[in-house]
């Protein structure tokens, strides 16, 4: 990954972790395709990157046609793809016991977190396999919930465990084509989606207590490190979390 012109796709780039990583890559000299469901937030992210270094593409990762259009736009604009950061995701409805979770809510989380990640990885894999020079890197955004659940998070936790299987399988299949695949599992990065952690989060013992968070920039720097390794090296799994959050010993 030491070439002069590196191209990345970041999904869910309109806010939070996706925006932070897109900005980190852009400032490091990458060209970044910003993908998300809303054009306005993507344009706000693009304004934070160096002029001419980004491409904003409205795309819903749950829709195969949108995903195909995203990667076609990247190919037409940049000619190749070096990195996919598979980031788009949703928690789904919070605090809903499994017996009360509507099927539509379950399906939406699965479609976004798992099916969307698969569709984007499949499109990136195809392009990386066929381009010259061949190869590239895919980094999936897992979660602490890929290891240990929070209460009332069955849909989110199930998809994040499944994402680990997706990462392993893609990593194995990609070896023959110079495609390196890894996963970053993030705990309590400070974003709008995790703002509730600082005011109180439900614990396994039934208590609601505030949790520490970390700067999302620390996650972005970690992803950049993973992304800029030569393809002969791979961070298979990385866990980055607020030091004092209740993960080790959760429950």
Active site residues: 156
Which residue in 117, 128, 138 sits closest to 229, CA to CA?
138
CB crowding 181-211: b at 16 or more within 10 Å, else e:
bbbbbbbbbbbeebeebeeebbeeeeeeeeb
In the structure encoding, which two tokens stand for residue 151, read together? 């209460």
Q: Is the peptide bond before 36 cis (omega within 30 degrees of 0)?
A: no
**CB–CB of 17/191 below 8 Å?**
yes
- First and final C-alpha spacing in the chain: 40
Give the strand order in the sheet containing 7-11.
54-58, 31-36, 7-11, 83-86, 136-141, 179-187, 237-241
């Amino acid at each position: 990954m030491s070439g002069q012109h590196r191209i990345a796709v970041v999904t869910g780039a309109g806010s939070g972790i996706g925006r932070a990583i897109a900005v980190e890559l852009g400032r490091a000299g990458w060209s970044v395709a910003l993908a998300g469901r809303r054009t306005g937030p993507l344009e706000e992210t693009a304004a934070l990157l160096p002029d001419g270094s980004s491409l904003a593409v409205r795309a819903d990762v749950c829709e195969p046609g949108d995903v195909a259009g995203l990667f076609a736009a990247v190919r037409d604009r940049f000619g190749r793809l070096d990195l996919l950061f598979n980031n788009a995701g949703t928690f789904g409805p919070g605090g809903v016991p499994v017996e009360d979770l509507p099927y539509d809510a379950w399906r939406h989380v699965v479609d976004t977190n798992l099916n969307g990640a698969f569709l984007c990885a499949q499109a990136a894999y195809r392009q990386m396999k066929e381009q010259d020079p061949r190869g590239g890197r895919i980094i999936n955004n897992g979660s602490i919930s890929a290891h240990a659940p929070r209460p009332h998070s069955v849909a989110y936790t199930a998809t994040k465990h499944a994402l680990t299987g997706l990462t392993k399988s893609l990593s194995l299949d990609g070896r023959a084509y110079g495609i390196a695949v890894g996963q970053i599992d993030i705990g309590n990065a400070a974003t709008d989606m995790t703002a509730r952690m600082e005011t109180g989060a439900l614990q396994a013992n039934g208590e609601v207590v505030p949790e520490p968070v970390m700067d999302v920039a620390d996650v972005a720097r970690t992803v950049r490190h993973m992304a800029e390794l030569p393809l002969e090296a791979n961070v298979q799994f990385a866990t980055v979390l607020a030091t004092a959050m209740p993960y080790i010993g959760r429950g």
